[in-house]
Structure 1
Amino acid sequence: CILLSSFSFFLYGTSYFFSSKMENEFKRFGLPNIALFVAFSQLSGSIGLIFGLINPTILIYSSAGLSLMMLFAFFTRLRVKDSMSSSFPALFYLILNLVIFIYSLLDL
């Protein structure tokens, strides 16, 4: 779960720098000013999940941050009336990172 989430967020975060798709999505959402922040947050969360394999505290913060980001992403997609199939990845990664977060808390 951790590696899947980390790899996915790393790819999506770096895509901001190599493709205009993410930037265009944020314009469509009415949030163009936070696209770069979100890209860096995704990269930071991705790296944090990997370091979290060594340090559980980092895993807790990274998975919590990514969960919160995906919660906002899911509600943003609902706000702009995206289809459920377009909104599903945000919901999936919200649940995945919540599972990582809960299990990392239980491991303390």
Structure 2
Amino acid sequence: MKFDFILIIFSGLSFLIFGFLCFLSNYFKYEFKRYGLNNFRKITGFFQFAGGIGLLLGFFVIELMLISSFGLFTLMFLGVCVRLKINDGFIRTSPAIFYMLINLYIFYIKIQAYN
């Protein structure tokens, strides 16, 4: 199985789950309060869920994958910024960095293929 394919599936499914959990999980509710962003939890969950769907449907519509991967990269970049602002350590910040880099990579390889 191709590495790019696995990364896209992994990221897409992850963000479907993260988006869903933003609406239901008490842990996610607690985390958004800790970030000082409680009012943004549901919209963040929506964008995560939509981005996950966009990555998976992007196999059929390349523009959708480009928009979704760049959007998720941006979301995770902002997540890293928030974690730096509240002085989270590297261990707590590393998942956001990981997903930020995955989606930047997906965007990069797909924009290369698109051109």
What is the percentage of aligned positions where both structures have the same residue? 34
Deviation of 1:12 after TM superposition, in Å, equals: 1.0
Match of 2:43 in 1: 37
* Letter of the structure 1 residue corresponding to residue 70 of structure 2: A
**TM-score, normalised via structure 2 length:** 0.91
Match of 2:113 in 1: 107
**TM-score, normalised via structure 1 length:** 0.97
List gaps (5 residues or longer) in structure 1.
Answer: none
Q: Residue deviations 1:23-46, cap 9 Å, x none? A: 111111111111000000000000
CA distance in 1, matches of 2:103, 2:90: 19
Instruction: Quote the RMSD (CA, aligned, Å).
Output: 0.7
* Letter of the structure 2 residue corresponding to residue 92 of structure 1: F
CA distance in 1, matches of 2:89, 2:38: 21
Given the alignment, which residue of 3, 25, 49 partners 2:55? 49
Correspondence list, 1:16-31, <5 A: 16-31=22-37
Q: Alignment length, in residue pairs?
A: 108
User: Does 2:67 match 1:61?
Assistant: yes
Match of 1:98 in 2: 104
Q: Which runs of 4+ in 1 moved over 6 A?
A: none
Match of 2:15 in 1: 9
CA distance in 2, matches of 1:16, 1:57: 26
* Letter of the structure 2 residue corresponding to residue 59 of structure 1: M
Deviation of 1:55 after TM superposition, in Å, equals: 0.6
